[in-house]
Structure 1
């Protein structure tokens, strides 16, 4: 049995060599179906097996010809089987990696090196297995092959890690911190010294020339200006319409939120930096000192960068020994020196669900050395501030998004060295902060964005305390309010079969979303306010705007919802679709997925089905007869590229395919010259009819109107969804 199994494994290895060589030779012509994409994405899961197995096998192969090993039958058999298993796992990993590399976002020289070193490991391991019992295979050859394989494993792992995490993943925390600290304020450039480090640390691992997620590169100004497949990354001076800011303000649960789940997220200060950079159109060459003295971006830069004349602070306390610091580190707390050779310590607390104020009490033996304490997003309450006040040498205290209020601040006014205090996202109000802020004698910056403190109150605080930089966050220049972003949709799909709640959201707290369903533009007084009790029962167009006191109302957002009560049990195409835009064939029309606008948008291939040379005709079957009174269709118009609505749509129904009667005929209107690309829908209505079979025929326009540059040609018809009610 063991011999048969081994022979089968050897045959499988031989076949794998041929298959992999074939796949790589015809790689450019390779199209990976959806179900195989899932297999490809298991590449990071499987790759650890061949790495470990081959490393052990190569170590044993290196010492194989030692006398005690060459005569040991168990050693020889175990090594041969281990090498065979490692080569087979390498084959599986290479095939999975090839499938994964065909997905969007993987390209460049780094991928090429990762691919070929991985392929080399597999072929070398296979070759060693096949020739290792030959008479000419001696110790020098075995050792050279083992060393070559190990080098290949190291290089492949290095290139793979760089693809996944970025070139500087290992040393990123150290290098980024040193770069930020080394730039004098007087020489700092807004983009190079404030914006670029954020993009490099939080974004560039997925958006670089070697890993083009969304066809977007964030490593150089030209690529940033160009944007990606979803369009321009930002619009200078218009944060409300900038894709960059829309994505970072999405809920972390949203698939489009950036950075994605599992990656290091942007801090509130980093979000504020990006917002102000876009808002103020600071570009790529402007220096920080060129900004007005009270400009919010300059104030934030002042808090992050060091002036050129600044000297390292001398502390009047001794350092604690390394063992003491080491034992205070655990899964929810890090304690580390603030800088090399410095006695000062920095403390970061993690894991909100496990937080307890005792985690601070446990630091009693180093409380004199702690100068920086980060409690961002921890459930810290006013009564906990008494424990914080015991850290008498604190220079920096981060209380962003904690549960503290202004009343509790009196507990930490004894911190005579405190220079930076962040209170963003807390319940601090103007009255309480105004009464306490003077007690902090050395305070230089205080951050209060996303609190109850208004833009006007921030300005008043700044005026009253000129020695302190009051960072108010989302505001203009202190005079005019910022315009709100449009509301966003949380519904997973906008096609529904039964009553469904309307789910709208906005990234800014305290925003009122007002909406209409009658086609009118919502206003701040008469339009209903959105709540989670709003239920949709029919197809409807929702128009929504966001309003908040002290802000300009947002632009209007429009969301189309479509009801499809009945989904056929089977759908068949009577005529072929366009060879370029076939999507999922007949299944496309009832998968609850709507396409997007854009002649070059890749969503065409996923959600749009098209015809030009013949009608779009489908027959749907219901296993149990249904009574229907309307049939709708969703289509796209982009007259500049020859995409037009259907010339006519016919709806037929009946008890069997041979006895269908015409239920309705719909002729939509034509677009006009210069109309913007749009998504439209039509609906054919009729008296209730019980049907088992339903045939829908959509005929494309035979001749495009003379006013169009494609005049006289057949129009392209794109349809993504149909609705049966």
Structure 2
């Protein structure tokens, strides 16, 4: 039992707490909380558990003293616990009032939580003051009011801290009920992750860092530190950067102690950002071999099962190369999907190499490949093919006859091709199709109407309906072999909608009615330049620009090798990627990137004969908001013959971007000239410590390289 002396002292402390709380409440908008008291305020989530338990125990003993062996002892214990509960409630309320002065909380919900918490404090103190008075009915009424206030305050506090539906959130996000073919990437894959792991701190009632993640438009807007993500740039997206920081880092998200994202969830968010971070795109519209589809498909329970045997693993492995990806459709599934990359590397005859896996192949992605009607015959042998993507190829329609007898074909996408009357005739016979995509194919309303009549059970997506709205043209398509060239090259530009005019420029400026060259035939490129093209047509608004940078790289070594392999995540085609004349894009999943972080990019080269070099450059991707920076230092070494020792010829320290410099694909010049060299070595060291202004200061940076340019 507590002695009367200690009860008196505790009562005086409680009275002082009431006076202090009244000051905080009455002068709330006129006082400034010093930083050291904010530390005490942040103990509020820890302190609040004590009064809840203590007060509930006190109420049970006071309401039901007959449950104990000794009624008087039960009442005494109840009274003492009530006093202790009042004191712990006082400290919790004071800490909460301090915490409420910090930013990031929605004031309406915070207001209700504050007053319900104060009600617990005042009611429990009032009950303690009159606990020995002969008012049993009013005492019981007060105990009920305290219990109700505890429940309300606890619920509101949990909603602020963890978000609405926190307890049931894992059940709601674990298994989407939508069918795979109807699933939207953001709504059914990305948003459940955010709701489960992020929204509790970034919603209307609690906006940490000024960021809300509970609605798409607010997620795009970003918070105090800028946008949460940058489309096509996961490494440069603040959301991803914070997730990848060490758990003990103050900037790590979610904070330590909160449920953390799994590696799969982080990879899904990265893949969604890398794919363009669209909010209304369906999952099946992404290629089956994309990282996004592969990571998301197993979240849906209606993934089809197959009764055919899996292909030989060695056969599948042998078919994978730098321009073609063959992989299982889902975990433990015998079904395979095939995707092709790199227009310049594609040979239609390579489809014949898939004959050994015809039975298992259910999806083929040939988007942007130079497929012509005569190349389509090979596809007729894929009896189990369900999805075929032929967007922006070179087919016109005659080759579609080879697809009519594919019994399992359900999704066919031929957008961006100039289709003719033969295409309408052949497509009309494909009664098994569930979805047909014919955006920007040049088919008129009559032809589309006949397709809808012939295929009443097929969802036909045209991308355009004339309801009086003026639509924007899609950008023109630039066709060329390589972004890097040795002497000269041709660039062809076309648009699938007939009657369009294509304006272009060669100086990187945006073409418009006062600044353009009219496209009339292939553009010959013989020097470094940036080509931009826009499409214009009557009844449409001009398209966004299509752009490509062309870089002259006249000399390539006969032999080359890397002293250190690139990181597994960015390994491209090994050393071949440095001299394959393939330009990478701002996408961390693009296969042309070589990434180095813990080892330098150290490439040794041998030319066929002594070679004069007038200029060198590294083609890199840097993003000061991410972890990708120019090399800290580049070394040039040479030697006269294969057996000699390397001699250091040059050291160069490229300038580093500042905090406000936007990310870009850029050439880093290496000032080095020589009249004749046969053995050359270039060593590019990653930045050893990110700058002080960076969110991950002190960490090692990345070098992202797609080409070594030598002229």
TM-score for the superposition, normalised by structure 1: 0.47
TM-score for the superposition, normalised by structure 2: 0.48
